[in-house]
Every structure is written in C-alpha cells, then in structure tokens.
Structure 1
C-alpha cells in the first residue's frame, strides 16, 4: 500500500520533490507504530510457535531447515525495516519546514537524494522479505499435516531398524 498507494498519492498531490517527500514521509511516520506492533506480534507469536513445536523441529525432516530459513527471513525483514525507518527519518527531517529539523538532518550521514533512492529500493525489499515469510509459513503448515509427520516417523523407524 505504501509503495503503490501512499507514495503515488504523494507524487500527485505534492507538486515539488520536497512536498512529495514530505507528504510520503509523514504517511510512513504515521504507519511506523502500526508496523512496530505488527513486528512485535509476529515475534511473540513466532517464538511461541517455535517453543510449542520444538520437538517436531528437532525430529521431523526439513522442519529445522524451514524454521532456520524463516528465522533468517524474519531477521532480514527486521533489519530492512529498521534501516528503512532510519532513511525515512532522514527524509522527514530534511524536508521539514522547521530549521532545527533540517540542522539535525545535516548531522546524519548521507544526503537527501541518496536516502530517497535507497527508500525507493527498500519499499520493495521489506514486502518481498515478508512474502518469503508467508511462503515459509505455508510450507510449515503443510509440514504439520499428519501424512507428512507419519512419513517422517516411518523413515526414522526404518533407519532405527537398519542400525539395529
């Protein structure tokens, strides 16, 4: 919504590059607390699910790998989100009408144009990583099917019998 809706609306309404950046930045800043709450909910629920399924993660074939991949995607999405927020704050301060904000923006490394270019990229990186998390969540749902669990149990029994 942000990349396609908010940013495009800011372009149509802003008129100048500064006004467009200001409108978009204000919208993203208003979204930040909602995004933070969503991240917190994801982390708490994910930790709970991982704890509840720790035996299955350890024993069922490929569940550990999909769990590790999901953790990596989540960590990457969190890092990308934090970086995006830093860039957004730079744009917010640099486009402010308040001279003190602009002074603060000047103290932050990097220039406004570079921050805007990086934000253009990051607005697609974050949802792409989130899509990866959704795909891995669907995979893990399939791995919970009784047929998948029973196949894994049969493999373990067969391995145990050949060792004995």
Structure 2
C-alpha cells in the first residue's frame, strides 16, 4: 500500500511551477518590455538585467524547493522505481531533463550578468566588464536561446510529471510490476492472459 507524500509533492510541484512560469514570463514579459522601453542596446540590457536580477533569488528558492521535493519523492518511491517497469526510465528522463534545465538556468544567469555589466553606466561595473570583455552580440544570441530553452526544458518536466502521475494509478502499478517480473522470468504469462 502506498503512503501519502503530500508535502513532498507540493514542494516538487510548486517549485517546478515557479521555475517554469517565471522563466516563461521572463522570456516573454521582461525581455519584451525591455525591448519596448529600452530604446538603445544598453538601456534595453539594463532594464532586462534589472528584471532578471530581481527574479534570481525567487527562482533559486523555487529550484531548491523543487529539488528538495524531487529528492524526497525519489526516496519515498524507490521501491516502485525498482519494481515497476517504465518508472525507472521516466525517472532517468526527469533527472536528465532537470540537469539540463539547471545548466541552462545557471549559464543564462552568467551570460545575463556579463551583459548587465557591459551595459552598466556605473564606473565600477565598467571596470569589472573591462577586465572580462565579452562579445556582447554573441552573448545575447546565446542568452536568447537559453531563455527559451529553460521554459522548454521545465515544460518537459511538467509533462514527465504527468506521466509519473499516470504510472501511479493502481492498474498501471499492477501492470508495470507484472511486466517487470516477466522480464526476470520470461515463462510467466502476460497479465492479459490472466484476466481472460
């Protein structure tokens, strides 16, 4: 019999929702508003940078919340991951997608910070930017791709989360456990033969 993990699920889902929604809103809203209001490249970069900088601590908290919930759910569901066919594969896919989303998020913040420094009118920021010059056109192209990659990757996590929910249905669990057992003992009949 499965136990409830309401708190872990809530942390997992709320963290992922904020990560996905915030990254999508930033790519559409923050960047769009900066383009509309900026006028010059530097002003646009400063506006976008300011918006993304305000979002960064909230995003970090959302990611940490999601990862904590994910780790707890993985520990709680470890027996099912091992015993039910298909669950290990979807769990591995979620892990890979989470890693890719984390990498894209981190790298986009690094690029955003570099662009923010290059566009800054503050003399101290200009000095820092001069010590680590970047090709701002190339950095902005990479950043534009990454800022769409993060919502795409986290959206993929939402889809895999839905798949995990379906795999937890009692009939799916029974079928998956039976099929896993059949891979270990191929002479066993299929579940369909037993129900007819």
Per the TM superposition, whether the score is higher than 0.5 is yes
Determine the C-alpha separation between the residues in 1 that align with 2:177 and 2:141: 51
Determine the C-alpha separation between the residues in 1 that align with 2:146 and 2:176: 40
Task: Note the residue ranges of structure 1 that are not aligned, 5 or more in a row.
Answer: none
SS at match of 2:134: coil
Shift, 1:160, TM fit? 4.3
When normalised by structure 2's length, the TM-score is 0.78
Given the alignment of the two structures, is residue 115 of structure 1 paired with residue 149 of structure 2, yes or no?
A: no
Determine the C-alpha separation between the residues in 2 that align with 1:89 and 1:157: 52
Given the alignment of the two structures, is residue 96 of structure 1 paired with residue 120 of structure 2, yes or no?
A: yes
Greater shift after overlay, 100-109 or 40-49?
Answer: 100-109
SS at match of 1:110: coil
Q: Is the 8 A contact 2:86 2:176 kept in 1?
A: no
Counterpart residue number, 1:10: 34
Shift, 1:156, TM fit? 4.9
Change (3 A) 1:139 1:109: farther
Counterpart residue number, 2:175: 151
1:19 to 43, 46, 58: 43
Given the alignment of the two structures, is residue 162 of structure 1 paired with residue 191 of structure 2, yes or no?
A: no
Over aligned residue pairs, what C-alpha RMSD do you find? 1.6
Higher relative contact order (CA 8 A, sep 6+): 2
Given the alignment of the two structures, is residue 50 of structure 1 paired with residue 80 of structure 2, yes or no?
A: no
Given the alignment of the two structures, is residue 39 of structure 1 paired with residue 63 of structure 2, yes or no?
A: yes
Given the alignment of the two structures, is residue 69 of structure 1 paired with residue 97 of structure 2, yes or no?
A: no
Show CA shifts across 1:58-85 (max 9, x none): 1100100000000000011001111001
When normalised by structure 1's length, the TM-score is 0.93
Task: Note the residue ranges of structure 2 that are not aligned, 5 or more in a row.
Answer: 1-24, 189-196
Change (3 A) 1:143 1:98: same
Determine the C-alpha separation between the residues in 1 that align with 2:186 and 2:136: 66
SS at match of 2:85: coil
Runs of 4+ in structure 1 over 3 Å off = 153-161
Greater shift after overlay, 99-108 or 28-37?
Answer: 99-108
Change (3 A) 1:146 1:17: same
Q: How many residues align?
A: 163
